[in-house]
Structure 1
């Protein structure tokens, strides 16, 4: 898993095998989002539009938007609102302005109620228009304004004089009269165009007169993030963090998943792989207590990263694998003797497989001799502090475990414990789970003669028929 690319099948496996845990974490995230919404009361936002007549460049519009949210404007709005405990400094964080198409500046105000949000945006827009008009009046040059007005009067007098001259000309009777009237009209048109250019070039007269385009509409919904959004965001965040946590844990995991790696960590040879049906036993070692019940309820007591168990044959097919392991044991140890079957504590799959292996060895007459009544003896070993019983009549130790459960260091500790007790690890058997088909009658195989005894999957068991 640590070297594989994360695929959709991996995500699906997490969702299928950890759906209870993911659901609980999503509910916790939703509660956290709800608590956050309680700590931060709802906000409402209203917007008022201000029209700036004339021709404006983009940088000039941005400057006006900055003026709309300046302290000079917001402080005046706060003074007119007279909200208790709310000053201009706090309102500056609630007011924003942006430019829109058509020389329009939208001023938005945020408050705890829809009515206050509407009042805030309206007052700021009014104060902005007043402040901008005052700036325009103060920046205007009185002499230039007087000169422009005098020029307009002169142009008006000239237009009247042109009209008098056109009337005095001999209209339509002679060629000279028609030419005179044409020249006078051209002069009138040129004067009008010159005055128009003069008016367009005067910013004080062209850019004054900003207009508030009606009162702000009262908001009908909360400003984001709303309570619903916070609840959904909290649930989604916790859900994604849980999935990412599973992926990260699987990627950094050092548990061995292949048979060659497991055999190398134990310093022995692989005798074969056996299968047990994929079922949950009624009792599990160490499964008592409230925490164990919670783990079972959430489904975190089973490994999620292992592939889905494949479909296998019936019981007779699975027993063939156990008999082959027994045959390899006889080849490995030609001399008759008793073997100690070592199973790590907490490996339920390995315990069930070891119990069936012990039962199969007892039912195989070729495994018995006059000096050995019970060929295999099962013992459970704690992985944290492995301790194996000292050698008595055993000829060695056989380690049975499942793939993807233990690290190389843990398996090396079991091998060292066997060596300290005088047992040589003669082989390794890897157990896996399969989905069993209904049992059918076979002529080539034998029907099961021994169910797995309860003592065979118990704690530390030595000798007997386990």
Structure 2
């Protein structure tokens, strides 16, 4: 498991090397969001109508009116008044909501599939709330009983006018009878006024009835959330984040060995050095053709993203010196000239190219002299990491393992080491190959002597990795 996979540089590498895949997944997520907006969350429009409750109201009484506004008694009457085909009161109850606001105001919200329907629904529920509240304030739900108090007030008003007419018709003189008649009429008028005042104080409908709808509901100009655009953006963002998190989880669970000490420990041998292989545009692309391979190349998933970008290397002369140093360390490590197998994991194109260059350098060694025993004879063998198998050690007396970093797990390398032991081969060393960005050279066929001498004197021939 890698412990260095959640840095910002890792996320930037994913964005650079997997941008095609991430873009395709984001588009797919946008399409899923669009489909959800059409099938699961069609556009809905919401608007509100306000109802004013005059007088003094306690909080619990306001909450009671809120419950009444969304009750079946009000919503069913609103559904009957609207007369929408195929829409019942039970369905409208899910589309109506109410809440108490400051100033004894109840806001009734209606949600529908069109702006006009939302406006009509909220206004109709508000009207039905006012009508229903007026009826129950009079102590009965009967419309005739609800108007009894108002009729009584009209009769009292008519009686007052009749008293005035009688007072005016009486003898305008100053006789005792006329004065007594006017006094009696005024007492009757005063008694009626006091009785109506007491009736108004005792009647709850006089104090808390008279609800008023405060104008028409505003026509909604936009859909209620989640809108279609919000669902599209949310789908694209969700798929993008899931793809990014998937890459990070895969990198976190990656068990491929990326450091030279880990590779050496898995194979149970020593590291002879590192060599450079010029990167090629198709060096890391798996072979294959057909629609699936074409799609993988189109999305950019045919190459690994978690490999660091290759560094810029020197010229061809510097790279060849690294190979010569590895061959020199092999020569100094072996007691006598020997023939070695160069084992390359099957599918490791970088290691295969490095092994070929090692063989070429070993064959280009001049004839052994008294001061040099000559480089070992090398033969490249590719083995499968699933079931590694090597030939018996009859002609070759050792193995040189060449592989690239970040490609193989410890279990796979241990299997190669066990296969070497089964074939009676000793792993004499390990060479790690890495890709570099090659620079154009003026003379790549033969390195100049000055460059060879300059690089050769930097350190001893034997020792650590080059």
Tell me the TM-score normalized by structure 1: 0.76
- Structure 2: segments with no counterpart, 5+ residues: 154-196, 454-466
Which whole-Å deviations, capped at 9, do the CAs of 1:368-405 have from their partners, x for residues lacking one?
A: 99x99982222222222323333341122222222111
Mapped partners of 2:249, 2:348: distance in 1: 23
Q: Is the 8 A contact 2:316 2:441 kept in 1?
A: yes
Shift in CA distance, 127/337, structure 1 to aligned 2, threshold 3 Å = same
Matches within 5 A, 1:157-236: 205-236=206-237
What's 1:276 paired with? 277
What's 1:411 paired with? 413
Mapped partners of 2:52, 2:391: distance in 1: 92
What's 1:375 paired with? 377
Which whole-Å deviations, capped at 9, do the CAs of 1:89-134 have from their partners, x for residues lacking one?
A: 2222222223334333222222222222222111122222222333
Q: Is the 8 A contact 1:271 1:428 kept in 2?
A: yes
Q: Is the 8 A contact 1:278 1:434 kept in 2?
A: yes
Q: Is the 8 A contact 1:337 1:372 kept in 2?
A: no
Which whole-Å deviations, capped at 9, do the CAs of 1:384-427 have from their partners, x for residues lacking one?
A: 23233333411222222221111111111222222223322222
Which whole-Å deviations, capped at 9, do the CAs of 1:42-63 have from their partners, x for residues lacking one?
A: 2222222222333445554444
Shift in CA distance, 122/419, structure 1 to aligned 2, threshold 3 Å = same
Q: Secondary structure at the match of 2:398?
A: strand
Task: Determine which of 436, 440, 446 is the counterpart of 1:434.
Answer: 436
Q: Secondary structure at the match of 1:138?
A: coil
Task: Determine which of 387, 390, 396 is the counterpart of 1:394.
Answer: 396
What's 2:330 paired with? 329
What's 1:162 paired with? none
Mapped partners of 1:266, 1:363: distance in 2: 29
Q: Is the 8 A contact 2:327 2:375 kept in 1?
A: no
Q: Is the 8 A contact 1:340 1:379 kept in 2?
A: yes
What's 2:98 paired with? 97
Further displaced range: 269-278 or 128-137:
128-137
What's 2:188 paired with? none
Which whole-Å deviations, capped at 9, do the CAs of 1:3-28 have from their partners, x for residues lacking one?
A: 23722222111101111111111111
Mapped partners of 1:303, 1:22: distance in 2: 15
Following TM superposition, by how much is the alpha carbon of 1:241 offset from its aligned partner in structure 2, in angstroms?
0.4
Mapped partners of 2:10, 2:124: distance in 1: 57
What's 1:305 paired with? 306
Further displaced range: 101-110 or 244-253:
101-110
Q: Is the 8 A contact 1:338 1:372 kept in 2?
A: no
Tell me the TM-score normalized by structure 2: 0.76
Q: Is the 8 A contact 2:331 2:376 kept in 1?
A: no
Q: Secondary structure at the match of 2:331?
A: helix
Q: Is the 8 A contact 1:337 1:393 kept in 2?
A: no
Provide the aligned length of Structure 1 versus Structure 2.
394
- Structure 1: segments with no counterpart, 5+ residues: 150-194, 448-466
Following TM superposition, by how much is the alpha carbon of 1:357 offset from its aligned partner in structure 2, in angstroms?
2.1
Q: Is the 8 A contact 1:368 1:375 kept in 2?
A: no
Mapped partners of 2:390, 2:250: distance in 1: 31
Mapped partners of 1:430, 1:373: distance in 2: 19
CA RMSD of aligned residues (A): 3.3
What's 2:450 paired with? 444
Q: Secondary structure at the match of 1:444?
A: helix
What's 1:358 paired with? 359
What's 2:256 paired with? 255
Mapped partners of 1:81, 1:409: distance in 2: 74
Shift in CA distance, 220/427, structure 1 to aligned 2, threshold 3 Å = same
Q: Is the 8 A contact 1:284 1:348 kept in 2?
A: no
Following TM superposition, by how much is the alpha carbon of 1:363 offset from its aligned partner in structure 2, in angstroms?
2.0
Following TM superposition, by how much is the alpha carbon of 1:87 offset from its aligned partner in structure 2, in angstroms?
1.6
Which whole-Å deviations, capped at 9, do the CAs of 1:294-324 have from their partners, x for residues lacking one?
A: 2222222222123232222222222222122
Which whole-Å deviations, capped at 9, do the CAs of 1:158-215 have from their partners, x for residues lacking one?
A: xxxxxxxxxxxxxxxxxxxxxxxxxxxxxxxxxxxxx9xx97x996544332221122
Mapped partners of 1:103, 1:368: distance in 2: 110
Mapped partners of 2:256, 2:335: distance in 1: 33
Which whole-Å deviations, capped at 9, do the CAs of 1:419-451 have from their partners, x for residues lacking one?
A: 22332222221222222333256443469xxxx
